[in-house]
Structure 1
Amino acid sequence: MPESSDPRPATLLTDELLQAIRSRAAGHDRDNTFPHDDLADLTAAGYLRAFVPVALGGSGLTLRQVAAEQVRLGAAAPATALAVNMHLVVTGIARLLADRGDDSLAFVLEEAARGEVFAFGNSEAGNDLVMFDSRTRAEPHPDGGYRYTGTKIFTSLSPVWTRLATFGRDDTDPTAPVLVHGVVRRDGGGIEVRDDWDTLGMRATQSRTTVLDGAVAPAAWVHRRLPVGPSRDPFVFALFAVFEVLLAAVYTGIGRRAVDLAVAAAHRRTSMKNGGRTLAQDPDIRWRVAEAALAQDGIEPQVDSLARDVDEGVDHGALWFAKVVGLKHRATENARFVVDQAIRVAGGSSYFAGSELGRLYRDVLAGIFHPSDPESAHATVANAWLGPVDPT
């Protein structure tokens, strides 16, 4: 076969790197610490520049390629994968827009190429409209910049991010409020990061609360002013597509690891009832492992296929949002099911604090809280197929 001329690497995450990251995951979970060592290794491997074009010194990977990497990283260390996911989301949005001729976020790729670490600061307590409205105030400056005042929650990478992609509401014209999306610098002032992350799972993400107290996005980094409510702007599509696909990839990785652990447990555990034979010979256990494997085999092609459709610009029309939120919902629920089956196969040992399966059980629960949550996902899909609810 002819040698490929594609300069992009097949993978940035070697088996050795993933094993090193996996070996540290339990300690970071136990101690509730951020995985600085993992981030250093991923940075050295060029992983934070995965979406950055080759011309800027990155790897120029596609969404499909990065999703495949995130499945593998999620299988090794879910919290590390979820943390770095947010940097990849911001850079992935910029890359997707650039590939479609929109350079409004080109500065993100340039900053990432220089080693800056991006976080995603959009979630707010009590805001179930998510990206369609905001409790944060965005105050315009005469030079075109904006000053943000508000509180963001679940800001992953809190100990290390240097750039925060965020948004707020500008009510300068009360009859036509706008949502202003921009990027602020951590060292630009007006930012407090609270040390308040002590959770059931996904502990190493250190997704702390971020208080914006007049944090400034310069004019060049204010990239969207959109009406309150749903929008057909390409940025909104890129945000949902990249965010949901990469989230689905992380949780799909958890499922993949859970199947492996279930298989190992079935071969390790023995049964006195069956004359000391391993549980791999027990029909009930075989059924549970098969159930887990069937579910896992069903979700992995979905992640790959939809990521490819995003890359290739496949026209799903009005069904696009239903497809991406549906993928995220199925992937997270599927991972919960697979982990549950693995727990049942492994037995009581998985209930101990040091168990990897016990950790996965806690980590996978976080999937129900990420946008789009189950209620929002079902509403989106229902609207796509049935139309909006008649208000009369």
Structure 2
Amino acid sequence: MTPASAHDALAVARDLAAGFATDAATRDADRELPHDQIKALKESGLLALSVPREYGGLDVSATVLAEVFRLFAHADPSLSQIPHSHFVFLEALRLQGSPDQQRFFYQRVLDGALFANAQSERGPHTVDVDATTLVQGADGYTLTGRKFYSTGALFADWVVVRASLSDGSGAVPTNKTPKAVAFVPRDAAGLDIVDDWDGMGQRTTASGTVTLDGVAVPAEHVVPFSPIFTVPTTYGARAQLWHAAIDVGIATGALEAGVAQVAKARPHFEAAVTAAVDDPTLITVAGELTVTVRGAQALLAEAARTLDAATADLTEDSAAEASIAVAAAKVAAVRACLEASTSLFELGGTRSAGASANLSRYWRDARTHTLHDPTRWKVQHIGRYTLSGTRPPRHGQI
């Protein structure tokens, strides 16, 4: 059942996060997938937080949903990434789905369904090209291709596949080929999901390979994707805001873990103190790190407010401002989570490097997750906007 208010939603998220934190280190070390935790998430009603009110959802603000992601990432960064694409594709459905499609899929979500992505492909083509194709026939579409890094697909009730629309001639898709997303039930014939993710971090996201071998997709389960980027929207900014929230959550979790380690650490003999918490050099590390992490939290909150304002009054300018605010938050979040996940070892000393504590998961998760979309391009967009007012590009990664 969906929580009755945003306040209730955050309370549910905090309770869930507390449960997610239990044994998170062990799940990572053993690569034990969080089946029970995802079941609890489905039953919590939180997956319907962005469903519009007219369809029975709560339609919470970006500010609230960003905090939900941060809470989950603070507890377990891998688990927090699993519902990311769920909310991204709910936004695609809101922007491009027909009323009948919205009614059908929103109800599935209200009933606890989880959407997962099948988007990324491997080269030689660039990431804005989908070799996976949807070919329209008399009775619907046929979906063929292979996807990698399909986060959460093993837990999904519906796998949402981004594909190029093809006329069946065999022409190779390009970045100009129109795209759509196909909502495919997990048990569809021809859909195969392999648990082959072997990343050093985000180890329990179930980001495996999805193979699509002539999957039949009814026309009513295909939603246009390319038109999203022909007009001002906050689609890309939302997707990136959730990523930034995950990074901030990793940062706050790593800072908390580092502080806990100080209580167990021995002070350096040159500090001439009896407790590590009184070591002036560690006090400086903790102070500097807190400024960095709290700065990232503040930029995340500001970006969410800017995105909410743009949603309420959407124009070319407000959409651009939201994208830039999110880009700034993303840069700060990446820096904060990488710094926090490294500095926790300074705070904890040699003891913190022990394998039993598995504190390396914070850095491994941070380094892996922050590879999703290079912040060096974010800085470029921010700089151009600052100096010349050049609006950032419209795509799913800004």
Would the TM-score normalized by the shorter structure come out above 0.5?
yes
Deviation track 1:241-263 (CA, whole Å, cap 9, x = no partner) reads 22111111111011111222222
Alignment of 1:125 onto 2:122: yes
Letter in 2 for 1:215: V
The one of 244, 264, 281 aligned to 2:278: 281
**Residues 167 and 179 in structure 1, CA contact (< 8 A), matched pair in contact too:** yes
Instruction: Determine the structure 2 residue equivalent to 1:164.
Output: 159
Structure 1 residues 322 and 129 mapped into 2: Cα distance closer, same or farther (>3 Å)? farther
Matched, 1:112 2:109: yes
Q: Tell me which moved more, 147-156 or 271-280.
A: 271-280
Deviations 1:283-338 (A, max 9, x none): 21111111110011111122122222222325435454444344333312321112
Question: Unpaired segments of 5 or more residues in structure 1?
Answer: 1-5
Query: Residue 3 of structure 1 corresponds to which residue in structure 2?
Result: none
Partner Cα separation in structure 2 for residue 382 and residue 124 of structure 1: 30
**CA gap 1:327/1:182 in 2 versus in 1, 3 angstroms:** farther
Offset at residue 195 of structure 1 (A) = 2.2
Aligned match of 1:141: 137
Residue in structure 1 matched with residue 88 of structure 2 by the alignment: 89
Q: 1:272, 1:379 → 2: CA distance?
A: 42
Instruction: Say which SS state the counterpart of residue 59 (structure 2) adopts.
Output: coil
For residues 341 and 256 of structure 2, the distance between their equivalents in structure 1, rounded to whole angstroms, comes to 10
Q: Distance in 2 between matches of 1:8 and 1:374?
A: 31
Counterparts of 1:279 and 1:201, CA distance in 2: 30
Alignment root-mean-square deviation, CA: 2.9
Does the 8 A contact of 1:244 with 1:324 survive in 2?
yes
Q: Measure how far apart 1:275 and its partner are.
A: 4.4
Contact 2:117-2:153 at 8 Å conserved across structures: no
Partner of 1:186: 186
Give the AA of the match of 1:207.
S
Q: Which moved more, 1:244-253 or 1:37-46?
A: 37-46
Q: Which residue of 1 aligns with 2:378?
A: 377
Moved more, 338-347 or 286-295: 338-347
Tell me which residue corresponds to 1:337: 339
Q: Do the aligned partners of 1:46 and 1:59 also contact (CA within 8 Å) in 2?
A: no
What aligned pairs does 1:225-236 form with structure 2 within 5 A after superposition? 226=226, 231-233=229-231
SS at match of 1:198: coil
2:12 paired residue number: 13
What displacement does 1:282 show? 1.5
Deviation at 1:196, TM superposition (A): 0.7
CA contact (8 A) 1:116 1:163 kept: yes
Shift in CA distance, 312/337, structure 1 to aligned 2, threshold 3 Å: same
- Measure the CA separation in 2 of the matches of 1:341 and 1:104: 51
- Which residue pairs with 2:38 in the alignment? 39
**Aligned residue in 1 for 2:217:** 217
Matched, 1:206 2:206: yes
Opposite residue 162 of structure 1, the aligned amino acid is D
Letter in 2 for 1:78: P
Greater mean deviation of Cα atoms: 116-125 or 356-365: 356-365
Alignment partners' CA distance in 2, 1:367 and 1:161: 20
Contact 2:180-2:224 at 8 Å conserved across structures: yes
Q: How many matched pairs?
A: 373
Deviation at 1:7, TM superposition (A): 4.1
Offset of 1:376 from its aligned partner?
Answer: 4.0
What TM-score does the superposition give when structure 2 sets the normalisation length?
A: 0.83
Output one character per residue of 1:167-206: Cα deviation in whole Å (capped at 9) or x when no partner. Answer: 2223438697322223222222221111212321111111
Structure 2 CA distance for aligned equivalents of residues 342 and 364 of structure 1: 13
User: Does the 8 Å contact 1:240/1:324 carry over to 2?
Assistant: no
**What is the TM-score normalised by the length of structure 1?**
0.84
1:137-196 residue CA offsets vs partner (Å, 9 max, x unmatched): 2212235x3322111111111222121222222343869732222322222222111121
Identity %: 24
Q: 1:318 to 1:20 in 2, by over 3 A?
A: closer
Amino acid aligned to 1:193: I
Is 1:255 the equivalent of 2:251? yes
Specify the SS of the correspondent of 2:83. Answer: helix
2-structure distance, mates of 1:222, 1:309: 31
Whole-Å separation in 2 of the counterparts to 1:304 and 1:374: 19
Classify the secondary structure of the residue corresponding to 2:82: helix
Match of 2:146 among 151, 154, 162: 151
Q: Which amino acid aligns with 2:66?
A: A
1:23 partnered with 2:18: no
